[in-house]
Amino acid sequence: MTTRRYAARRQLEEFLSALFLPDELIEIRFIESWISRGRKKSRVARTAQWLRPHELISCYDEITDFARREFANIYFGVCPRCHEGDSHDHTIKTVRCVWCDIDGIAVEQASARFDEAGIPVPSIVVNSGSGIHAYWLLKIDLTSPATRSKIASMLPYYYRSFGGDHVHNLSRVLRLPGTFNYKDSRNGRPPLPCSLCSCAPAQRYSLEMFRRWVELAEHEPKVILPGSFPGTPDKLSPDEFSGGRVQALELASRLDSPTSDRSRRDFAVVCDLLRLGLSREDIWQLVSGRSKFESNGRPYFDVTVSNAERTVRMDEITPPKAGSIN
């Protein structure tokens, strides 16, 4: 093993020990991404795996060699998975940290943004090769539906305070430190290391530290999905509005799961979001950074949502067949 590979593997061990318990499962995805004719493209290079920390370390050489051959970016699920195959928001039972992704920025610039926003030093900082990932470890694991919902709801407001990425679901995947960023490598872009910059497992924060963003989410739900439900928000009870918002976020999170037919999956998700009562722009806000909507952009979305609107309208006007159950 080369000195560089040994150091990268040690970084990965340190990182995993801070975020996961020995028996917890980590979702691992292998995705190539590149630019073709000005559009983002991606492919699943290998079936997703669910591994315990020691299993991931044991196969480190094998998966990084595969990634190098296939230009595959290796991603991991930030929150532990309960069972093999878990990849949706509703399957997340434990939240151990608050995280963020900021593109096109150096560590020093990110630190300045955090200071300006009144945010303390992250417990963990990773250089992703094209930006930074930061993690604030929590003093207590969040395991109740109520506290997990608070974190999920407040993340957009938290990111907005310092310019973080807009994708904020609990089943979020990020680049794995100790691997390489192979974005657009098939077109000759040199791979860039995704490396651990700092890791302080003892530096942990209470949920109280995030109170102001939690309160923003509780009092300004329209910021996430403006005007997106049947009737205006003032005609809905807080519980009804919050429940619909969470349902919409969970539906959109299906776009982050591996599938052999992304177009069909994208169409089904858009249909379900339309049935929930969301407008075109609300749906675009939810899906624009995911699946083929990210790589193919607004033209792909417009075609998909137009077809979905026709399907949903037909469902509404077509009477059920005899013997069917509604």
Q: Which domains does the chain have, with CATH numbers?
A: 3-208 (3.30.70.1790), 221-317 (no CATH)
What integer pLDDT is reported at residue 243 of this predicted model?
Answer: 47
What integer pLDDT is reported at residue 222 of this predicted model?
Answer: 44
**Three-class SS string for the chain?**
CCHHHHHHHHHHHHHHHHHCCCCCEEEEEEEEEEEECCEEEEEEEEEEEEECHHHHHHCHHHHHHHHHHHCCEEEEECCCECCCCCCCHHHCCCEEEEEEEEECCCHHHHHHHHHHCCCCCCCEEEECCCEEEEEEEEEEEECCHHHHHHHHHHHHHHHHCCCCCCCCCCCCEEECCCEEECCCHHHCCCCEEEEEEEECCCCEECHHHHHHHHHHHHHCHHHCCCCCCCCCHHHCCHHHHHHHHHHHHHHHHHHHCCCCCHHHHHHHHHHHHHHHCCCHHHHHHHHCCCHHHHHHHHHHHHHHHHHHHHHHHHHHHCCCCCCCCC
What integer pLDDT is reported at residue 236 of this predicted model?
Answer: 35
Spans of the chain, pLDDT less than 70: 1, 220-246, 315-326
What integer pLDDT is reported at residue 224 of this predicted model?
Answer: 40
**Whole-structure pTM value:** 0.74
pLDDT in tens, 218-275: 876 443 433 333 333 333 344 433 445 667 888 888 888 878 889 999 999 999 998 8
What integer pLDDT is reported at residue 42 of this predicted model?
Answer: 86
What integer pLDDT is reported at residue 233 of this predicted model?
Answer: 37
What integer pLDDT is reported at residue 169 of this predicted model?
Answer: 81
